[in-house]
Structure 1
């Protein structure tokens, strides 16, 4: 998705007031299911796509024959009519003893290189799947690391990943993550400026994280993020508490958020992110989609009754 639709003369056209939002569900919330079973479930429930976390229980990025497995998966997604974004937040895919380790900020350059290689592989997988983006995050700054040094490491590590993304034509969507070096929208803009605003650097916006720690309300975060928005994750959350909650169990008023998202003209997937609820993944997948559809604005020329004015049910 480009930041603005271009008129023939090259001037940006105004974003549409509303657009049909497309919802997905993350496989990190369906880890007790085989990947094919998870995909079939989401297709049966009516989801538009899937947020695919590369991990050992689904599409293992480190196991043999990745290209062949990716090719089979692409065919399956096509058969089921599911779009896909590739997510890279697997907890132990690189190191069985360090959650999310090693990171792009690791003091050891060889360890940083392992994370970089995984992200480049994710870009290649995304290109083969026809994914609309690859998600990633910075990681936490190691103890004793100077903040300026941490930013330098992050920029250096992401440079070859962005080069791979440019070659593949797949945006890299960095997620501000509470507790990480890159934690806020302001931090994303710091990275963007540091790297010289590369074309293929975009943003993953997690709606719950906006509620958790951003100074702006979530709907305003969506509007502020619109030019760089390449991927969206969504769940409920409470202010100041980084806990992904099923819809209706937190504090977010979703209709204004989804109306703001629709108004941006965003065409990617909005993916339900409930990684700690995998034990009841099918239940939450079944419940989440009707909630989001009720909270979303009616698409252009659609039935206005499809939008629910007060869908928050906490």
Structure 2
């Protein structure tokens, strides 16, 4: 399967593109990365931003790395984004996304995306407000999809989250949103499926499975984030970890059974900022080794 890695592990540790590119190629033996905007903020002014983009592209090219896509990252996941109750804040969130799309195109990626935003507690409890925020969201994402298409990107990737005030947070919401976006002419909208999100028990219950998400979203899944969890949070642990319960071989088999074996899988292990650098490097290496072996097992299983 197409295993790559999200560069969230490099945040605050390997900001130099030459450093993370060499680590990904030499230590991990991977050929594909997903850039996080925590390493390159679209808000930066264009001359400086352009020089950083050039440096990233050159570092990746020297290591024969493909920058598959770019995603929101931690810093811009925190604001309410496209679901903010303030219209000016929503306008600025849309502007940030438009700039992010431009950056992704300049990087030579195939896609851009991430979580879309979070409703306020007040809006979420008022059906009229919630409906208005949803309609605003569909309008904004349709504009962003059009911009992504014109920029030459294959997909605008939407990442469902296990938070009830974020859209989408359920399989039903995902299905409705993709239908509404399709009706608005946004045929290039697709989903990033984060495996750790799919089994969050406090929202989805103890019987929630990865398989129902893969089956429910099907061909609309264009990318997978692979991370480990105990089903009670979103820790983005790696492997091995005695606390985690994500069976990577099982995930691979479900993807293969759904005809999604060729969908890129990005390992998304996000260590604590407090963890020492050598521990983090070892964790990323062991996680890649574990996932590579598990996905290879899934790919060779009968019927795969």
Work out the CA distance in 2 between the residues paired with 1:274 and 1:162: 28
Q: Deviations over 1:243-293 (max 9, x none)?
A: 322234311222121122245245453122223435343222111111001
> What is the TM-score when the length of structure 1 is the normalising length?
0.79
Q: What's the counterpart of residue 131 of structure 1?
A: 109
Quote the Cα distance in structure 1 between the aligned partners of 2:171 and 2:157: 12
Which residue is equivalent to 1:35?
16
Give CA-to-partner distance per residue, 1:182-216, whole Å, 9 cap, x none: 21222111211222352110000001111225565
CA RMSD of aligned residues (A): 2.3
Select 1:103's aligned residue among 68, 77, 81. Answer: 81
Residues 36 and 71 in structure 2, CA contact (< 8 A), matched pair in contact too: yes
Gaps of 5+ in 2: 124-128
Aligned-partner Cα distance in 1 for 2:175–2:298: 31
Aligned-pair distance for 1:228?
0.8
Higher relative contact order (CA 8 A, sep 6+): 1
1:68 Cα deviation after fit: 3.3
Among candidates 212, 219, 231, match of residue 239 of structure 1: 231
TM-score computed with the length of structure 2 as normaliser = 0.81
In the alignment, the residues of structure 1 paired with residue 262 and residue 101 of structure 2 have an alpha-carbon distance, to the nearest angstrom, of: 19
Classify 1:186/1:287 alpha carbon distance in 2 versus 1 (closer, same or farther; 3 Å).
same
Q: Structure 1 residue 231: deviation in Å?
A: 1.6
Task: Sort the Cα spacing of 1:266 and 1:71 in 2 relative to 1 into closer, same or farther, 3 A.
Answer: farther
Whether 2:154 is the aligned partner of 1:164: answer no
| SS of residue in 2 equivalent to 1:186 | helix
Residues 51-70 of structure 1 correspond to what in structure 2 (within 5 A)?
51-55=34-38, 58-64=39-45, 65=47, 66-70=49-53
Post-superposition CA distance 1:15-70 (Å, at most 9, x none): xxxxxx12222222221222321221111121222221112xx2232223223322
User: Which residue of 253, 256, 268 maps to 2:250?
Assistant: 256
SS of equivalent to 2:283: helix
Q: 1:232 to 1:35 in 2, by over 3 A?
A: farther
What's 1:4 paired with?
Answer: none
Partner of 1:203: 191
Q: Is the 8 A contact 1:178 1:209 kept in 2?
A: yes
- Give the corresponding residue for 2:126: none
Q: 1:201 to 1:38 in 2, by over 3 A?
A: same
Q: Which of 261, 277, 284 is the matching residue for 2:272?
A: 277
> Contact 1:74–1:128 at 8 Å: present in 2 too?
no
Are 2:74 and 1:90 equivalent residues in the alignment? yes
Note if contact 2:190-2:220 (Cα within 8 Å) is conserved in structure 1. yes
Partner of 1:183: 169
- Distance of 2:80 and 2:247 partners within structure 1: 36
Task: Count matched residues.
Answer: 274
